[in-house]
Amino acid sequence: MVLSGCLTMDEAYRAIEWKAVFLIAGMIPLGIAMEKTGAASFIATWMVDLLGAYGPAIVMAGLFILTSLASQVMPNPAVAVLLVPVALNTAADLGVSPYPLAMTVAVAASAAFMSPVSHPATLLVMGPGGYRFSDYVKVGLPLTLVVLLVVMLVMPFFWPF
C-alpha cells in the first residue's frame, strides 16, 4: 500500500499493532525454551501415548482441541508459537508428515470463538452488545466443531500424513 501511494510510511507505522508484534516476539523465546527443555517433547509424547493408537487423524483432532482451548484464554499467535513445536514433535513420534499437524495448530489457534477474552474484537462488543460469557459458548462451541470437522476433512487432502 505504501508502494502504491495509498499510505505514507508514517501512516503504515502508526497502523501496526505494536503490542501484538512484541507479544509474538516475546513468545518466540518461550517456544524455543519449550523445545530446548523438552517440554514440547513431553507434551508430544503425552499426546501420542493418549491418542496415538487411534491413528494420526485422531491425534490431529486432539491437537486441534488442545490448541483451540488454549486460544480461548491466550492470544492466538502466542498459542501457535507455543504449540507448533509440540505438533512437530508429535509428527516425529508418530512417523508422519509434520505439515498437517502444524497447519492444524495454525488453524485451531484462530478458532477462538468460545470466549470473549479470546480476541480483542469479541471483548469490545461484549459490553455494548449486552452479551454474556455463556452467549459466546453457545455460538462458539458449534462453530468450533464445524471448523474441527472442516480441518479433519480438508487438511489430509492438502497435506497427507
pLDDT at 24 (0 to 100): 63
Count of CB atoms situated within 10 Å of the CB of 99: 16
Question: pTM of whole model > 0.75?
Answer: no
In tens, the pLDDT along 28-53 reads 776 677 667 877 677 767 777 888 78
Q: Is residue 2 part of a domain?
A: no
Q: Is residue 1 part of a domain?
A: no
Looking at the structure of the chain, the number of domains it has is 1
Q: Is residue 3 part of a domain?
A: no
Q: Which domain holds residue 144?
A: 9-158
For residue 129, the surrounding DSSP H or E stretch is: helix 120-129
What is the pLDDT averaged over residues 79-97? 86
Q: Is residue 4 part of a domain?
A: no
- Asked if residue 95 lies in contact with residue 55, where contact means CB atoms within 8 angstroms, the answer is no
Dihedral angle over CA of 130, 112, 43, 60, nearest 10:
140
Q: Is residue 70 part of a domain?
A: yes
Q: What's the one-letter identity of residue 84?
A: V
DSSP-derived secondary structure letter, 159: S
What is the pLDDT averaged over residues 129-158? 91
In tens, the pLDDT along 115-128 reads 887 777 777 777 77
